[in-house]
Structure 1
Amino acid sequence: MPVVRTYTRVYVDDLDTALPTFVALTGEQPALRFPYRGLELAAVGDHLLVAGTDEALAPYRATHTTLVVTSLDEVLALLATHGGEVLDGPNAVPTGRNLTARHPGGAVVEYVEFHEQARAAAQG
């Protein structure tokens, strides 16, 4: 279950306002942009911008990072072996499937298994 991409999460108030700075910083256009559960998300370089109101963002702020993996099933097995706790999911999401887990030690991580279209878009 290799991690194929790591996204640093950046929580912002307004995606359209935040994007130009991240495009300038990375030299890349958003590879992915989509709505999800009252939020707007965009992947720019190795950053995942997550935009919404304070209320909409509240359930997600504890998540430290997003890891794109080849198999959520393997993540579930790893979590079971090491004592991790699934907090949400697996769910169908606009980019494929995801789950959020708390690792032993407290790190909260979102795992995403991209479907083919999202994988191709993220690779540029």
Structure 2
Amino acid sequence: MKIKKILTRLYVHDINTAIDFYKKLLSEDCDVRFKYTEMNLELAQIGNILILGGTDEALEPFKDTKATFLVDSAVEFREFLLKNGAIIIRDLKKVPTGMNLTVKHSDGTIIEYVEHNKILIRESNAK
């Protein structure tokens, strides 16, 4: 059970402008970009930043989530978190990048846990 990376989340209306800015600011390429049609969102990852783009209405259910932890096993983290006082906000679910769940830690902080599928990891590493 390992946290591979912690992503800071940014919520924006114009994802293209945000991507251009953060690519320049961080001198890094956009690692992952995809539409999450089911939630009316578009997401992009640049370095340790996860940009969520959409309308106020589409972003609202996610704005209390403070960070995204990329993990090796969402299932194992779910078990660990439940045994350690976390409350499930959104349970394990297949998403465009693999699987995720959102929990409230015992200190009140809301975190998304994401396990990327192997194909995405290979594609990202090939860049």
TM range (shorter): over 0.9
Q: Which runs of 5+ in 2 are unaligned?
A: none
* 1:74-89 paired onto structure 2 within 5 Å: 74-89=76-91
Contact 1:62/1:108 (<8 A) preserved: yes
The structure 2 residue matched to 1:50, chosen from 52, 73, 89, is 52
Q: Which amino acid aligns with 2:75?
A: D
Q: Which runs of 5+ in 1 are unaligned?
A: none
* SS of the residue 1:50 aligns to: strand
* SS of the residue 1:106 aligns to: coil
TM-score, structure 1 normalization:
0.95
Report % sequence identity.
37
Alpha-carbon RMSD across the aligned residues, in angstroms, is 1.1
Structure 1 distance, partners of 2:92, 2:9, is 20
Report which stretch shifted further, 97-106 or 77-86: 77-86
* SS of the residue 2:59 aligns to: helix
Structure 2 distance, partners of 1:122, 1:11, is 22
The structure 1 residue matched to 2:108, chosen from 92, 106, 109, is 106
- In the other structure, the counterpart of 1:3 is 3
- Aligned pair count? 124
**TM-aligned CA deviation for residue 121 of structure 1:** 3.8
